């Protein structure tokens, strides 16, 4: 795919985004950048607007004001099914797999946007369809190994354990060769050991596929250990932005967020 976007600025620029639901302002003028190759964590207490921000970026919601620019191209009004082709891959908070389909087929759907052959070409197995199929399976074995999914590759995704399902979702997103990977609470529902491995996995994925990650996460230890940059939200406003160190020491953040969870973690 021709890369028409500019390659010098930040990969993702969120500027002054406002999102209203009726009379409620869920996001109130939020701005931040995600640089190329960066792992950026988006944190905040429940109801602070993290997931709303996430949904605005991936086109599920249409923000009321402001601009979200990806590689110099505005995402305003871009249909949801074009996001993958532009280079945005995502996972879902509650894991949204295609349950009746095998793990391998789930992953092949992730490669969908890389092909363009239609009903006719595929029914007749024309050259275009065969080429798409070849390109789709390219790299799938490597990913199955990387995410430890080889043993379940031909099993329907629906019946697998939660931790495995999360890895399948990540594998499916990576099949789309995204430039920015949006991860919605990847640690949610995982046990302690599994969360511990996530940080390494994200860095490995980032280095191997040369992408950026925007992470929405409750699990503070994970966010702080894996992110190079952290953006903190509260009541729809950005209250801090910087390195994990800077954000952790920001009085606003301590008051709004870390204080509560520090207690919760100690308990």
Partner 1 sequence: MSAQSNWLRPLALLLALAVIPVVFATGFQLFQLTMVAIYALSVLGKNLVSGYGGQVSLGQGAFFAVGAYTAAVLMDQYDWPYWATLPVAAITSGLVGLMLGLPALRLGGLYLALVTFALAISVPQLLKYKAFEAWTGGVQGIVINKPEPPFDLPLSADQWTYLFTLAVVAVFFFLARNLIDSRIGRSLKAIRDHALAAEAMGIELARYKTLVFGVGALFTGIGGALSAFAVAFVSPDSFSLALSLTLFVGMVIGGAATIQGAVYGAVFIVFAPNVSEAIFKGAPGAVYGIILILFMFFAPGGFASLVRRFGAKYLRRAKPA
Question: Footprint of partner 1 on this chain (CB under 8 A)?
Answer: 58, 60, 79-85, 90, 92, 96-101, 105, 108-110, 112-113, 115, 117-119, 122-125, 129, 132-133, 136, 172, 176
Helices (H), 138-234: 140-146, 162-175, 192-209, 220-226
Alpha helices in 13-58 (DSSP H): 50-57
Comparing CB distances to partner 1, the nearer of 90 and 229 is 90
Q: Are 95 and 169 in contact (CB under 8 A)?
A: yes
For the record, the structure tokens of 35 come out as 């640089």
Instruction: Find the shortest distance in angstroms from Cβ 5 to partner 1.
Output: 17
H/E stretch holding 184 reads strand 180-184
Q: Would you tell me how many other CB atoms lie within 10 Å of the CB of residue 167?
A: 22
DSSP state of 210: T
57 neighbors 83 (Cβ within 8 angstroms) = no
Closest distance to partner 1 from the beta carbon of 96 (Å)? 4
**Residue 54 vs 257, nearer CB to partner 1:** 54
Give the nearest distance from C-beta 6 to partner 1 in angstroms.
23
- Burial (0-12, 13-18, 19+ Cβ within 10 Å), 189: middle
Write down the least CB distance from residue 158 to partner 1, Å. Answer: 9
Minimum CB distance to partner 1 smaller for 129 or for 239 = 129
The residue (of 4 and 8) whose beta carbon lies closer to partner 1 is 4
In whole angstroms, the minimum distance from the beta carbon of 60 to partner 1 comes to 8
Give the nearer residue to partner 1 in terms of CB position, either 38 or 58.
58
């Amino acid at each position: 795919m021709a890369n028409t976007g500019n390659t010098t600025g930040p990969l993702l620029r969120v500027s002054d985004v406002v999102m209203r639901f009726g009379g409620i302002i869920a996001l109130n003028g939020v701005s931040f950048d995600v640089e190329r190759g960066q792992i950026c964590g988006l944190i905040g207490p429940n109801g602070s607007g993290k997931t709303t921000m996430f949904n605005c970026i991936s086109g599920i919601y249409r923000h009321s004001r402001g601009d979200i620019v990806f590689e110099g191209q505005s995402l305003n009004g871009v249909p949801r099914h074009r996001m993958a082709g532009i280079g945005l891959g995502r996972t879902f908070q509650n894991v949204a797999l295609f349950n009746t389909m095998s793990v391998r087929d789930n992953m092949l759907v992730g490669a969908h946007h890389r092909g363009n052959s239609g009903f006719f070409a595929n029914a007749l197995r024309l050259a275009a369809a065969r080429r798409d199929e070849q390109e789709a399976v390219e790299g799938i074995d490597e990913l199955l190994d990387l995410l430890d999914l080889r043993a379940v590759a031909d099993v329907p995704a629906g019946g697998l354990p939660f931790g495995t399902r999360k890895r399948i979702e990540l594998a499916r997103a990576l099949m789309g060769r995204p430039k920015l990977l949006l991860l919605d609470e990847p640690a949610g529902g995982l046990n302690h050991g599994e969360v511990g491995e996530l940080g390494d996995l994200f860095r490995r994925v980032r280095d191997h596929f040369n992408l950026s990650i925007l992470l929405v996460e409750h699990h503070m230890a994970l966010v702080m250990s894996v992110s190079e940059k952290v953006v903190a939200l509260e009541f729809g406003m950005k209250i801090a932005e910087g390195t994990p160190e800077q954000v952790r020491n920001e009085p606003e953040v301590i008051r709004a967020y870390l204080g509560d969870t520090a207690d919760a973690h100690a308990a």
